[in-house]
Amino acid sequence: IPPAFSHALPRLPLRPPKRWCQLRVLDMTDLQDFDTDRGPDRMISKHKNECPSGASTTPPPFGVEIRADLFVNGTSFGVLRDALQTSAAPLRLRCRDFRTEELSITGIVTLLESLEPVGVRRVDLRFNNLGPAGLCTVLPHLTRFTELVSLKLPYSNVDVRRLAPGTDTGLRQLAVQLGRFPCLKELNFGSSRLSGSLRQLLSDLQAPLESLELAFCYLLPGDFAFLHKSLHAPALRRLDLSGHNFTENLLQCLCQLLEKISTSLLHLDLMECHLTDARLADLLPVLCRCSRLRCLGLFGNPLSTPGLKTLVQKTVVLPDLRLVVYPYPVDCYSREPSRLASAFGHLCEDVVDKERFAAVSAEVGRMLATSGRADAVWTSSLCRHSAPDYFTL
């Protein structure tokens, strides 16, 4: 719970005079815990209030609805559980986006059952090591959230290799549970090993997805073929396929998929995909047909400075492309990155020749300005320029 929440509570009068404006709704959604510039004194509150026109013999019971995005882990679990289960309090906590990390199944279920179901649009359960069985235990408790649009389940320990040969009961049950969310538009199964199982996992979904995050999921050509022919392809606005090794065979599958979704795609992430200059050259023709593309993530790929310049030259034709996260060119390294640094791309900055890279970055800026695209952000920083969320695409 953001510190601003607890700091702001004493400012709310529990028994306001009858002629005061009475605060009814305090909207704290989008207020981040790490946002030090917007504390209680500087927070812009979106609120509703009531100003009584005259004395009332029976004033309505006073209460304030607090709307917030909640992020909870083991440290804050007890505080949030108690806040949600205090039904008689004058402050009613309503959640819009709910995120947990490293909680037990029992803890997750306890919080889900305590949430007011109205208004919950996203549930994000990550680093919880649930596995298919654990997910099948938790997901039924989400059916109360009839407005649920986004479901994120990265790092959930889903690995099709662990399924017993000839049996797929766990994955089948998981697919059935996913099919119980009729409004679902965004799904994230990042860092799950789903090789050859994507068709089965998504088979029960009732409506097409608009955002699909499958980073480091070890997809096979058959999975790409399924996506290409599925009901989701024409609707996809965001696609994350980071962490896949796009060799010649898989790269052809990617090109076919991008061709199919080219009219709807707004955001594409292909980070750490082993894309060399030559592979990027094969990808660029279809990439440039994604006419509505706004965001492109290519960080962590072994491109050279000439390859990066080619990327700039070819993509300036995309009128809506406003954010590109590109890799440090391999010829800007002062030494070969370690394997660890390659696996965690942000560490590569330690082996970059800063002077050489500054010259490349300046050249990219000049190329964009010459092409009339000085408004576009091209950066190698994963932190300073975050990509738009699905709800803001």
The answer as to whether 83 is a domain residue is no
Report the chain's C-alpha Rg in angstroms. Answer: 24
β-bridge mates for residue 64, sequence order: 91
> Which residues, in sequence order, are CB contacts of 19 under 8 Å at separation 6+?
52, 55
Which range of residues forms the domain containing residue 304? 266-393
Secondary structure E strands in 198-292? 211-213, 238-240, 267-269
**pLDDT given at position 2:** 47
Residue in 111, 137, 106 with CA at minimum distance from that of residue 123 = 111
Task: Output the CA torsion sign for 248, 253, 254, 258.
Answer: positive
Quick check: is 75 in a domain?
no
Residue-level pLDDT at 91: 81
Please report whether residue 344 resides in a domain. yes
The answer to the question of residue 304 being in a domain is yes
So what's the pLDDT on residue 63? 80
Domain presence at residue 386: yes
Least Cα distance to 185 among 31, 324, 393 occurs for 393
Count CB-CB contacts under 10 A for residue 302: 20
pLDDT tens series, the chain, 393 aa: 444 445 545 455 555 555 556 788 889 998 765 443 443 333 334 444 544 555 455 555 668 889 999 999 999 999 999 999 886 678 889 999 999 999 999 999 999 999 999 999 999 999 999 999 999 999 999 999 999 999 999 999 999 988 766 557 889 999 999 999 999 999 999 999 999 999 999 999 999 999 999 999 999 999 999 999 999 999 999 999 999 999 989 999 999 999 999 999 999 999 999 999 999 999 999 999 999 999 999 999 999 999 999 999 999 999 999 999 999 999 999 887 665 455 444 446 788 999 999 999 999 999 999 999 999 999 999 887 778 899 999
Let me know if residue 281 belongs to a domain: yes
- The pTM score is 0.87
CB-based contacts of 44, cutoff 8 Å, min separation 6: 38
| Total domain count, the chain | 1
Q: Tell me how far apart the alpha carbons of residues 293 and 93 are, in angstroms, rounded to a whole number.
A: 38
CA pair distance 180, 183, nearest whole angstrom: 9
